Amino acid sequence: MSNNEFLDLGYQPLANKYLSKREKWKRTNEETYRLKVGFNNQTKLVSLYKKIPVKKMFNDTYPYKSSMSKTMLNSFLSLSKKIKKRFNPKMTLEIGSNDGPLIRNFKKNEIICVEPCSNLAKITKKMGYITFNNYWNYDLSKKIKKQFNKIDLIYSANTLTHIENLKDVFKSIDNLLSKHGVLIIEDPSLLECIKKVSYDQFYNEHIYIFSSISLNNLLEKFNLEFFDIEQLTTHGGSLRFYIKRKSNKKIKIKASVSKQLTKEKKFGLNKLSTYLRFKDKVINSKKKLILIINKIKKTNKKIVGYGATAKATTILNYCNLSNKDIAHFVDTTPDKVGKFMPGKNIKILKYNKKLVNNADYLFLGAWNFKNEIFLKEKNFIKNGGKFITHVPFPRII
């Protein structure tokens, strides 16, 4: 077997399945799965063992909206400017357009949205953008090709790693991308995840976490190659891969490509031993976080969760933290408010300053937006409020 298990995060509920009050009382029905992670010695891919059917994850009630954060809006705005300046595509396609933070920076006849969650697809349709409310697959690529012919630029952020059949993903892209077309993929970086011990990047939707090594191996099969790789701070450290056809010699390959590949090899992302060491760090991280929370509880201080993220679901369930540990969460996303964290009885309240200022400690569920949050909560900090984070190691800030 070329796949090697290196991490077991126990039984977990579906990470973005926030429970309503009614669902909470019917708790016995809450679906759980065993969250185990493996490393494939041949392909160098890191993936989850258990794959949840897509319809259970991406449907008409998907609560995550990327435009909820200023950081993401700014990131998409600057990317859209860059795309226009560097590539000037006639037609762009976004796979996983969510509620439209990127596409809103394009004209309506310049971009096509693909979004399987109908509640989100409705939003971009209403904004007047061509939207395919479908899962990304070969049939859809054929349909789009028939209607629009070939596409100059395909972009996808935090989406392709959510699709089980990666061969079909790239076959469909290959089918639609023009001869001199550019593919841009953006996803959390495995190197950053391992370095930061951010094991909460693992949950049912993140079937894969890409390294440039594993993605490079995949691209080979489709005669595609990187020509640039950018480091981003979004989602706790992401990589933006710029990809072209090997036959396209017009675009030069930048030094950033070999730099990233070498960095990852030096770190050992191509070896199982690195992942086994990561596992030990995860176990230690859990112990330390529980210790910190128990110590605070003894002083009768109040801990509130900040950002009811899918990532937090992994932490709460792996570290077995309940409403006895974290009084409630605060979040700005309307579809999460009034619900409960999956697997745990912790209520999500609508964000307001008073709730924040009434807390003694804020547990950073959205640690990836730390800078944005620290800026927003200047007063809480000024008044002696503290944050708890587990990244890169459990500590009080």
Q: Where does this chain bind ligand TMP (CB under 6 A)?
A: 68-69, 307-311, 331-333, 336, 351, 366, 368-369, 372-373, 376
Contact 217, 44 (CB under 8 A): yes
Cross-sheet strand order for the sheet of 92-95: 130-132, 111-114, 92-95, 151-157, 177-188, 238-245, 224-232
- Give me the least distance between CB of 72 and ligand TMP, in Å please: 7
**Three-state SS sequence of 254-270:** CHHHHHHHHHHHHHCCC
- CA–CA distance, 122 with 114 (Å, rounded to integer): 11
- CA–CA distance, 293 with 364 (Å, rounded to integer): 13
- Give me the least distance between CB of 203 and ligand TMP, in Å please: 10
- CA–CA distance, 29 with 22 (Å, rounded to integer): 11
Q: Which is nearer to ligand TMP, 153 or 310 (CB)?
A: 310
Q: Which is nearer to ligand TMP, 147 or 358 (CB)?
A: 358
Q: Which is nearer to ligand TMP, 37 or 366 (CB)?
A: 366
Tokens of 84: 């226009």
- Give me the least distance between CB of 104 and ligand TMP, in Å please: 18
- Give me the least distance between CB of 352 and ligand TMP, in Å please: 11
- Give me the least distance between CB of 64 and ligand TMP, in Å please: 6
Q: Which is nearer to ligand TMP, 118 or 332 (CB)?
A: 332
- CA–CA distance, 92 with 83 (Å, rounded to integer): 10
Helix or strand or coil: residue 37?
strand
Q: Give the length of the chain.
A: 397
Q: Which is nearer to ligand TMP, 69 or 260 (CB)?
A: 69
Contact 46, 275 (CB under 8 A): yes
Q: Which is nearer to ligand TMP, 174 or 372 (CB)?
A: 372
- CA–CA distance, 11 with 146 (Å, rounded to integer): 44
- Give me the least distance between CB of 42 and ligand TMP, in Å please: 31
Q: Which is nearer to ligand TMP, 92 or 368 (CB)?
A: 368
- Give me the least distance between CB of 66 and ligand TMP, in Å please: 7
Q: Which is nearer to ligand TMP, 245 or 311 (CB)?
A: 311
Contact 198, 275 (CB under 8 A): no
- Give me the least distance between CB of 169 and ligand TMP, in Å please: 22
- Give me the least distance between CB of 371 and ligand TMP, in Å please: 9
Contact 71, 375 (CB under 8 A): no
Q: Which is nearer to ligand TMP, 314 or 368 (CB)?
A: 368
Q: Which is nearer to ligand TMP, 265 or 386 (CB)?
A: 386
* Torsional sign, CA 249, 254, 259, 261: negative
Contact 161, 234 (CB under 8 A): no
- Output the residue with the shortest Cβ distance to ligand TMP: 307
- Give me the least distance between CB of 68 and ligand TMP, in Å please: 4
- CA–CA distance, 135 with 35 (Å, rounded to integer): 24
Contact 112, 91 (CB under 8 A): yes
